[in-house]
Amino acid sequence: MGDYKNMWENLDMDLDKHDILCSALPESFGEIYLTQKNRPESMNYFNYALAEVHGARIEELQKSKENGKKVVGTFCVFVPDEVIFAADAIGVGLCSGSQFWIEDGEKVLPRNLCPLVKAFVGAKISRTCPYFQSCNMLVGETTCDGKKKAYEILQEYMPIHVMDLPQMKKEKDFEQWQQEIKIFIKRMEELTQNKVTVKRLKEGIRLANRKRAVLKRLYDLRKNIPSPISGLDALLVSQVAFMDDPDRFITKTEQLCDELEERVKNGIPNTKKRIMITGTPMAIPNWKLHSIVEALDAEIVVEETCTGTRYFENQVSEEGNTLDELIKNIAQRYLNIHCACFTPNTGRMEDILEYVKEYKIDGVIYYNLSFCHTYAIEYKQVEKILKDKDIPLLNIETDYSEEDIGQIKTRIEAFLEMI
Amino acid sequence: MGDYKNMWENLDMDLDKHDILCSALPESFGEIYLTQKNRPESMNYFNYALAEVHGARIEELQKSKENGKKVVGTFCVFVPDEVIFAADAIGVGLCSGSQFWIEDGEKVLPRNLCPLVKAFVGAKISRTCPYFQSCNMLVGETTCDGKKKAYEILQEYMPIHVMDLPQMKKEKDFEQWQQEIKIFIKRMEELTQNKVTVKRLKEGIRLANRKRAVLKRLYDLRKNIPSPISGLDALLVSQVAFMDDPDRFITKTEQLCDELEERVKNGIPNTKKRIMITGTPMAIPNWKLHSIVEALDAEIVVEETCTGTRYFENQVSEEGNTLDELIKNIAQRYLNIHCACFTPNTGRMEDILEYVKEYKIDGVIYYNLSFCHTYAIEYKQVEKILKDKDIPLLNIETDYSEEDIGQIKTRIEAFLEMI
C-alpha cells in the first residue's frame, strides 16, 4: 500500500488505532485467500482492490469530492443505486464484517446485538473507517430493529437519510415505496445539486442493471461442476462490488468471467460437496464460514444472502418515459427482494428451492449472524421446505469472533460426512 | 374458581398441562398481591377478575360467541380498539408474562428472543391459553422483528390479520396508516358481517375514549404524595383492562378512583422513593419488577410502557361526520404513540421528562425485556436526557425467570440508597 497517512489525517481518522486494523488485514487475507491453489489470474484485480481498500479507492473518492462529487454511504441492498448514480454521486457500502470494531460499537450499543450493526457503529465512532469518514451523507432504511435504531446513534455524528421500507408487500406498500424513492431522489438532489432527470435516471438504471448482470453472469458460471471459482473468491468479488467504481468493477468482473468460461471448457469434475449458504450478509473481511467450509472437501457455489443473490437478482425495467414510470420500475424490483424483514417472505422459500436445483446443491448451510431475529425465526420455514425435499441443512449462528471456529469446523465436518 | 373443565375441553385445550399452569397462579398472586397492606376495597373486583381470568371471563366470551359475536386477539396497543368495538366484536390482549410458556415457545422460536414473544407463541402451541383458544382471528402488527416474524408461525394455527405499521412518522406515514386502518375495517367487517358505519365507529371511539379516560384518572391519582394505590395494584388494573369487558372495566375502575380520591383527602405523606418505570410492557402475570421494588422502601407511581401510559395517553377526536374523517382521527392518535419501534422516537424523551415532573419522580428504572433491541438501543438516549437533568436511572434487562430476582433486588436496593 502507498503512503496515505496525510489523506487519513485529513479525514480526521484515529491514525494509531487505524494502524492496528491495517496490520491485521493483510495477514488474514494472505492466510485465507492467497493460499488457495489454482486461482483465476483475473482475481489479481480483486486482491489489489482488497489490499487498497483503505488506500487507492479512498484516494479516488477524495479526488471525486474535490471535483464536486458527493459520497453517500449505505447499509443495505434496498437503497436503490440507480438514484445515487442518477444524482451523479458515489455510493459505498458501509456494512462491516470486522471483529475489530465490535468493542467500540458496544460502547454505545447493547452487547446482545447483531455484530454487523455493532461493527459499523464502532467503525464510525472510532474514526477508523475511511469510507465513513469520506461520506457526505448516510442512507439508512428500516429493515431491522437493530439497524433502524442504530441510525439514531449515527445521526449524532453525521447527516443521515432514512428510507421507510414497508414491512409487507401489499399493493399499497408498492405505492408507499415509490413515494419513499421520490423522497430519496429529492434528498439526493439537494445534496448534490444535480437534477435527477428522466435521462439521468435511465442511465442510472442501465448502469445498475449492467452491474447486476455481470454478477449474475459470475453466479451462473458457478452452476458448473466443478465451479470454476471458489466460494471465497466469488465472495470477495461481491464484497468489492459494494466499494468499487461501478464501471471498472463491471469491466474487471467481465474479464474474470471470460477467464472462468475458459476454465469451464477445460474443467475436470471433482467430488467436492456443493454447498449453498442462505441467510445473513458477509461484509469485508468476514470470510469466516467460507474459509472453514472450503478448507474441507466442499465448495460454496451460491449465497442466498444480501452479499449474494439478493444483491443482483432481477433487473429494473428500462421501459418508460417519465420519472414516475421509472420510479415504479425501481420500486418493483427492490420491493421484490426477498429479505426476512418482510412478513410474509414466501418468495425466499421459492428462491432457495430454485437455487438448490439450479446450482445442484448437496447441502445447505443456514448462516445466521447472532441476534438477527428475522432470519433466526425464518429458519423454521426454511427447515420445513428443505426437509420436505430431503435436502440436508445445517444451522450456524455465529458472530465475528474466532472463538467458535473450532466448534463450527467440527459441525461442518460432521455435516459433510452425512451428506 | 368454578368448574370450567367442560368449557376448556370444548376449547381444545391441553387440560393436564393447563392444570399445572392454574395451580401456580393463585400462589404467586397470593404472595405478591394479597400480602399488601391497606389495599383499596375496590381492588376486590380486580382480584376476582384475575382469579377468574381463565374462568368467568372465558365463559362470557363463549356466551357472546354463541350469540354470534366474534373474538379477536391482539398483541399491541397500536391495534385500534375503536374498530373492534365498531364491528361489534370483542378484543382481548394476548401478550403473555408467564415463564410457563417459554419452554413451548422455544420449540419453534430461537431462545435468544424476547420472552413476551416466546410466551405468547408457547401459549398458543401448547393449547393452554383459553383466550387464544377463544379467538376467531388474531390481529398482529409490524412493530418489532420478533413479533412480526412470530406471527408467521401463529398463522399455521389460526387466521391472522397483520397491520403494516409505518416505522417512521413522516407525513405520508400518517396517510399510509389510515389506509391500513381501512384495510383492517374491511377485514373486521368480513369477519363479523357487521358494517362499520359512521355511527358505530363514533360509538367505538367514545367507548375507547372512556376507557382511556378512566385509566388516565387512575394515573393522575398516582401523582399524589403518597400515591393512594400501590404500583402493583395499578399494574393489575392495567393488565385486567386488556381482558375485561370494557363497560364493566370502566365502571369498576371509576369506583376504584372514587375510593382513591377519598384516600388522597386523608393521605399521610410517606418517605417512600417515587419510582417511574420506563420501557417494555408487563403482561399478566409479570409482576416481577414491581414486587421487588415495592417490597423495598419505594413505590412505583407511573409506568411509561405499553401496559402503562402508552395505552391511554391522548384521545381520539370525536369530531367528523364521515368514515374518512374518523379514520384520520384514529390514525392521528395511534401513530402518536411513542414506541421505540419508530425512528426517530423523540416524543418518548419528552414524555419521560414530563412524567418525571408530573409524578414527582425520585428515580427511573429502565425496564428492558431481554433481546428487545429497539428499547435496548434507545436506552442511551434516555440515559442522556435524564443525566442532563440529574435524574437517577437504573437499567434492568431481564426475562420472566426467577433466577435473577436476587441480583435485581440487590441492584435496586443500592439504587434506592443512592437517590
Edge-first strand listing for the sheet containing A273-279 = A298-304, A273-279, A363-369, A393-398
Nearest Cβ partner of B164 from A112, A170, A183? A170
pLDDT of residue A2: 67
For residue A246, pLDDT over 60 is answered with yes
CB B378 to CB A108 under 8 A? no
Instruction: Tell me how far CA of residue A389 lies from CA of A348, A355, A382, A396, in angstroms.
Output: 16, 13, 11, 20
Question: Which residues does B134 contact at the CB level (< 8 Å), separation at least 6?
Answer: B11, B58, B61, B62, B65, B71, B92
CA distance B313 to B91: 19
- Per residue in B62-91, pLDDT tens? 999 999 999 999 999 999 999 999 999 999
Cβ neighbours, 10 Å, residue B187: 18
Average pLDDT over residues A341-362: 98
CB contact under 8 A, B373 and A113: yes
Q: What is the mean pLDDT of residues A111-133?
A: 98
DSSP string, A233-246: HHHHHHHHHTTS-H
Contacts of A112 in chain B (CB under 8 A): 112, 370-371, 376
pLDDT in tens, A261-286: 999 998 788 899 999 999 999 999 99
Q: Where are the alpha helices (DSSP H) in B266-322?
A: 288-294, 309-312
Note whether A366 and A331 are within 8 A (CB): no
- Inter-chain residue contact A113 with B144, CB threshold 8 Å: no
Low-confidence spans in chain B with pLDDT less than 70: 1-2
d(CA A391, CA B179): 42
User: What is the pLDDT at residue B1?
Assistant: 54
Nearest residue to A374 (alpha-carbon basis) of B376, B280, B147, B374? B147
Instruction: Check: pTM over 0.90? Answer yes or no.
Output: yes
pLDDT at B270: 87
Nearest CA in chain B to A114: B373
For the cut 60, the answer to whether the pLDDT of residue A66 exceeds it is yes
- Give the pLDDT band of residue A1 (cuts 50, 70, 90): low
- Say if residues A205 and A326 touch (Cβ distance below 8 Å): yes
> How far apart are the C-alpha atoms of B380 and A125, rounded to whole Å?
15
Q: Which residue type occupies A95?
A: C
pLDDT computed for residue A69 by the predictor: 98
CA distance A75 to chain B (A): 16
> A355-410: per-residue pLDDT in tens?
999 999 999 999 999 999 999 999 999 999 999 999 999 999 999 999 999 999 99
Residues of A in contact with B370 (CB under 8 A): 112
Length of chain A: 419
A165: chain B residues, CB-CB within 8 Å: 167
Pairing of strands A298-304, A393-398: unpaired
* Host H or E run for residue B141: strand B137-141
CA distance A127 to A405: 29
**Whole-number Å distance between alpha carbons of B338 and B163:** 17
DSSP-derived secondary structure letter, B99: G
Mean pLDDT of chain A: 97
Shortest CA distance to B135 belongs to which of B274, B266, B11? B11
Which of A108, A145, A345 lies at the smallest CB-CB distance from B374? Answer: A145
DSSP H helix total and E strand total for chain A: 19, 8
Query: Which chain A residues are within 8 Å of B111, Cβ to Cβ?
Result: none
Q: Distance from A260 to chain B by nearest Cα, in Å?
A: 40
**What pLDDT sits at residue B267?**
79
- Cβ–Cβ below 8 Å for A148 and B167: yes
Give the Cα separation of B274 and B363 in Å (integer): 7
> Which chain B residues contact residue A104 at CB under 8 A?
none
Angle made by CA atoms B205, B207, B211, in degrees to the nearest 5: 115
Chain length of chain B:
419
Cβ-based contacts of B173 with chain A (< 8 Å): 164
pLDDT digits (tens, 9 = 90+) for A280-324: 999 999 999 999 999 999 999 999 999 999 999 999 999 999 999
Least confident segment among A1-15, A108-122, A155-169:
A1-15
Judged by DSSP in three states, A331 sits in helix
A147, A181, A377: best mutation site toward chain B, by most B Cβ within 10 Å? A377
Give me the pLDDT at residue B24, please: 85
The pLDDT of residue A8 is above 70: yes
